[in-house]
Amino acid sequence: MMAFYSDVYVLPLPEGHKFPITKYRLVRDGLVANGIVQPSELYLSEPVSPEVVKLAHAPHYVDAVLHGTVDRMIMRRIGFPWTSELVIRSFTIVGGAIASAEEALESGFAGNLAGGTHHALYDAGEGFCVFNDLAVVVRYLFSQKLVGRVAVIDLDVHQGNGTAAILGGRDDVYLFSMHGAKNYPFRKVPSTVDIDLADNTSDDEYLGILERELPKIVAWKPDIVLFQAGVDPLREDTLGRLALSMEGLARRDEMVFCACKQHGIPVSVAMGGGYAKPVHLTVQAHIQTYRVLRHIYG
């Protein structure tokens, strides 16, 4: 398996910043320490060119990110201070996402150990998302004529508003989002299928809905699935409001991977959110996604 990573994923943040930025390195280290990903299977993510990001984002916004001239209100909504490290990180996450998708098309599956930045809109970032790696990947794959149809399975607890805003309404993109009804973003943008979940939704209900919906997605015959595997539906998550167990998350990931494998659909995994306190439960859940992936694909 190929997993894409770069040390620039760990953004230097001001002391006391609430984003659990250390999780990226902890997940990478945990994957290697547990033998789930061999050191030789870790590939360096490279920053993508601004032109590629502009396939899905307003050129003036991409240039403003590059030059540090993003509107102050937008930077506040993003939630990270503008730094040169943020610029490099943002372009590198998209680079890793594209590399992962291309590898998935080659070998069947791959992952980027970051990304799933699904809140970024066409001309503005928000919610810790600068660029929307999912939207750029979709536009890039189409521009290169690598695929005819793409499905995005977004199981982060927050709705994929940015992805829907950029890609919604296309008949060659199937956007599936399952998320907390009362959670951020408070203005949701319609996906192809949105499942709004009540607070404290637990394993049985969640997995029952997923079991009902997954066959419809694979029956649509996408050429690739982009899986936003956020682990913030976990009960212990501080921003999640749902009540999935660690085992429930494992079953969730297993269902997605099995459905893709059974139908011969390549899958590229993006990390998505996770805000458990302490952070180790989030890290454990992200590692578990790859353990399940390895188990299903061998």
Q: Which residues contact Zn ion by CB under 5 A? A: 156, 158, 230, 232, 273
| Minimum gap (Å) between residue 99 Cβ and Zn ion | 23
| Minimum gap (Å) between residue 275 Cβ and Zn ion | 8
**Nearer to Zn ion (CB atom), residue 100 or residue 177:** 177
**Other C-beta atoms lying within 10 Å of the C-beta of residue 187:** 7
**Nearer to Zn ion (CB atom), residue 57 or residue 158:** 158
Which of 17, 67, 118, 119 does the annotation list as catalytic?
A: 119
Position of minimal CB gap to Zn ion: 273
Q: Tokens representing 65?
A: 């990110």
**Nearer to Zn ion (CB atom), residue 66 or residue 181:** 181
| Minimum gap (Å) between residue 88 Cβ and Zn ion | 23
**Nearer to Zn ion (CB atom), residue 64 or residue 152:** 152
Q: Is the dihedral of CA 242, 247, 253, 258 positive or negative?
A: negative
| Minimum gap (Å) between residue 44 Cβ and Zn ion | 26
Q: Is 67 helix (H, G, I), strand (E, B) or coil?
A: helix
**What is the distance between the alpha carbons of residues 35 and 106, in angstroms, rounded to a whole number?**
23
**What is the distance between the alpha carbons of residues 95 and 89, in angstroms, rounded to a whole number?**
10
**Nearer to Zn ion (CB atom), residue 100 or residue 161:** 161
CA distances from 256 to 153, 261, 267, 269, 292 (A): 8, 9, 9, 11, 10
Q: At what angle do helices 280-297 and 246-262 cross, to 10 degrees?
A: 30
Q: Tokens representing 13?
A: 């943040």
- Residue 163: phi and psi, rounded to 5, are -60, -45
Please name the helix (run of DSSP H) or strand (run of DSSP E) that holds residue 267, with its range, or none.
strand 267-270
Nearest by Cα to 5 from 44, 38, 35, 33: 44
Place of tokens 């909504």: 77
Q: Is 3 helix (H, G, I), strand (E, B) or coil?
A: strand
Q: Is 119 a catalytic residue?
A: yes
Place of tokens 């990270």: 80
**Nearer to Zn ion (CB atom), residue 32 or residue 246:** 246
**What is the distance between the alpha carbons of residues 44 and 92, in angstroms, rounded to a whole number?**
9
Which residues are designated catalytic? 119
